[in-house]
A and B are shown apart, each in its own frame.
Chain A
Amino acid sequence: MLEQEDADRVKRVLMEEFELEEDVLRPQASLYTDMGLDSLDSVDLVVALEREFKFKVVRAVDEERIRAIRTLEDLYGFIETKRREAQANPGA
């Protein structure tokens, strides 16, 4: 599970980047139906998260994973996975 502090960072990114109110950012909230994001926003979300968490999204590896993200909870899981991979392979 992503630590609370990091989950808050994700929320802050969503609020700043997409002008969302905090009350919509529940773990089960859908990025698309509840937050109103679309395919262009998902591209910008990735760029913003790369900047915030200093990881690199590799399209060939991550595209399917990103496509599977539906809820904020899914997003937390994706970030946790990316961090684990970065720790396991720090030179990548």
Chain B
Amino acid sequence: MGTHAQIPLRRVVITGTGAISPFGPGVESLLTGIRDGRSAVVDLSAEWSNKIPALTCLVGAPLPEPLDPKQIERKFRRSMGPTAMMAALAAREAFNQAGLEGETLASGRVGVSFASTTGSTASLEQSFLHYFQKNFTESLGSSAFFQIMSHTCAANLAHFFGIRGRVVSPDSACASAAQAIGLGFEAIRYGLQDAMLCGGADELHAVVTGCFDLVHASSCRYNDHPDRTPRPFDAGRDGTVCGEGAGALVLESEASARARGARILAEVAGFDTVADGGHLAQPLSDSITRCLHNALDNAGVLPEGIGYVNAHGTGTVLGDAAESQAVVDVFGPQRVAMSSLKGHIGHTLGASAALETIVSLDMLTHGYLAPTRNLTEVAADCVGPDHVTTLRYQRFDAFVKNCFAFGGINTVLVVKRYEDA
């Protein structure tokens, strides 16, 4: 056996963030909505009950105003459905903040790791309407496929920004953005790229909520009171509520960021993703526990070094209980503050880990903990973590972002305050 030189691991920092969320365009509108404790969940019964009469969940968290497609030049826009458009607008904000542009993006040392559950659902629906109603596809136009393909975000982003490094799209349903951030982190950490545009996006559609309906994972008891659902970790929780949006983060090697004089927002310290290997839809707390331990080891951070867990916490009966159990197993009872942001913005699916990491970064920077909206009575099977139920002003130095997905996919990111070595 030959000997292999040890590759030194590089530190990875965040230098830009961008968002399109149910609170509107831009990171600031997202942060303001969360800080104000508002709900972005609204009644969609008029639109959805016509589309799918049997749908039981008639609420969702859409963008407050439809996107103006003309924000993106036609030659780029034509291959984008709403999912990729949201991704492009969020990414533009993130690159603007990071100060990355032009030749640097085209250098081959900058890549994209960006994902969604699927390509554009609206474009997919239009395509199948053509196919099923007319039994042919010729009149679809040239760009339908580019809007529908599973890597529509990553490919369109590379095209839009002229990026020529690696382009990957770890589409893993609700864990898409978490895996995308994790793979981007690894690419930089191992010296393969200097910067990665990371994140995820997904659009709201009755069919998507219908998929959650089918497995009884959607909320259906609060259709008359949209702002009271989802209710992560609450005794009255009855399922999740789908939202939409895009979250983008620019990850960069510490050396690159410092050489450019970029403002460093935080450090991504660790990542892990593991499979349940047991069930496609039923979360396993043991797998979440394993993923948390692995990610903390990967980050070189002890459980007591974590001040906050930003939970996956979708408001499903099984998922919230499994996550609470795992957090207690790893951190101990009442040892770590935890909240979910899905009571505010619903479950933004492929975008969720990116949007929620961006909000958690703001909490890390400004020393506060946003509560789990709608958590009024902690459910017996969710007791254990220190649930944040009201806004707290509390400084912490590192947080964990949990994110799980159908398919038995568990993903954990560890982010900490950046400090010079």
Contacts and interface: CB of A to CB of B under 8 A. Distances in A.
Contacts of B75: 36, 38
A38 B140 CA distance: 17
Contact of B78 (A36, A40, A51): A40
A19 B78 contact: no
B138 interface: yes
A36 B73 CA distance: 12
Interface stretch (A23-31, A42-50, A61-69, A76-84): A42-50
Interface string A1-45: 000000000000000001100000000000000001010110110
Interface string B66-85: 00000000110011000000
B366 to A, nearest CB: 42
B74 A47 contact: no
B6 interface: no
A42 to B, nearest CB: 8
B139 A43 contact: no
A57 B79 CA distance: 23
Nearest to B73: A19
B133 interface: no
A51 B74 contact: no
Contact of B139 (A19, A40, A47): A47
Interface in B172-207: none
Nearest to A48: B141
A50 B136 CA distance: 15
B142 interface: yes
B256 interface: no
B142 A44 contact: yes
B74 A43 contact: no
Contacts of B142: 40-41, 43-44
A88 B308 CA distance: 76
B276 to A, nearest CB: 41
Contact of B143 (A18, A19, A44, A51): A44
B138 A40 contact: no
Nearest to B79: A40
Contact of A50 (B74, B139, B143): B139
Contact of B141 (A18, A36, A38, A44): A44
Contacts of A44: 78, 141-143
A4 to B, nearest CB: 27
A40 B74 CA distance: 12
Given A18-B74, A36-B75, A51 B139 contact: yes
B74 A19 contact: yes
A44 B141 CA distance: 5
A69 B74 CA distance: 22
A51 B130 CA distance: 14
Nearest to A45: B142
A44 to B, nearest CB: 5
A32 B138 CA distance: 23
Contacts of A51: 139
A50 to B, nearest CB: 7
Contacts of A19: 74
Nearest to A19: B74
A23 B190 CA distance: 53
B138 to A, nearest CB: 7
Nearest to B74: A19
Contacts of A43: 141-142
A44 B78 CA distance: 10
Contacts of B143: 40, 44
A43 to B, nearest CB: 4
Contacts of B138: 47
A69 B140 CA distance: 22
Interface of B: 74-75, 78-79, 138-143
22 contacts: A18-B74, A19-B74, A36-B75, A38-B75, A40-B78, A40-B79, A40-B142, A40-B143, A41-B78, A41-B142, A43-B141, A43-B142, A44-B78, A44-B141, A44-B142, A44-B143, A47-B138, A47-B139, A47-B140, A47-B141, A50-B139, A51-B139
Nearest 9 pairs between A and B by C-beta?
Answer: A43-B142, A40-B142, A44-B141, A19-B74, A44-B142, A47-B139, A47-B141, A40-B143, A18-B74
